[in-house]
Amino acid sequence: MTETFAQLNKEADKSLLENYEEYSKRVPIMTETYAQAAKRGQRESDLERIQDLFPNDCLRLYDADALTMKVKGLMRKRSGAAARLQRALSTKSLRSESPPSQKTPLSTFEQRTFLMEAPVQFSTGVQSQDRHLFLFNDLLLVAKPRSGGNFKLKEKVRISEIWLTKCCFDEVTELIKSQDTSFVMGWPTTNVVVTFSFHQPFIHIFRLIKTKSSFLDKLV
């Protein structure tokens, strides 16, 4: 009888050990799965929150290609200053290099991640306008502040199409702007001087766009 109990205990311990080992193998997989689900949930929550800030605009942040160029934006003529700036920036690029690819990743929805936002001023000529930037890993939203904490979409630009520089201010605006809190930002239809209220968000957004844009390593 004693031997039988001992044998049963031994088999029970063996079974428990095997179950524990199997569980131990599954824990990292389960933990990684939960972490991925939490990260995906946070991404979706960010996209929903930002869409809620634009009650009169469909941002299409869940679409594979969220960019819809406005007809007005496509038909807008560049000013002489904007054209001169683009030529000035182009001379700094390597002429032998081909233009950056305009392809949008097929899995944009899975990859699109909100990075940060900041209030700014856009300056061209002698005028300045209040704007708000929403930066994603592949997309930049330029918004106009509205009452009640809401926004109106003004521009939607692929990060890969943006160029930045800390020079050529006088080609874009006649206003005096500090290089500590301002830089020139442009894309195919627009060039503006972007000014931040504080140095910290200026540095963050400049560096984040710099890591994503195809132009920056040549222009800055």
Please choose, from the candidates 140, 149, 115, 106, the residue with its C-alpha nearest in 3D space to the C-alpha of residue 42: 115
* Contact by Cβ (8 Å): 209, 164: yes
pLDDT 10s digits, 137-181: 999 999 999 999 999 999 999 999 999 999 899 999 999 999 999
The predicted model scores a pTM of 0.67
pLDDT 10s digits, 174-188: 999 999 999 999 999
User: What is the Cα–Cα distance from 67 to 108, expressed in whole angstroms?
Assistant: 11
Please choose, from the candidates 152, 156, 217, the residue with its C-alpha nearest in 3D space to the C-alpha of residue 187: 156
**Cα–Cα separations (whole angstroms), residue 17 to 12, 28, 85:** 9, 18, 71
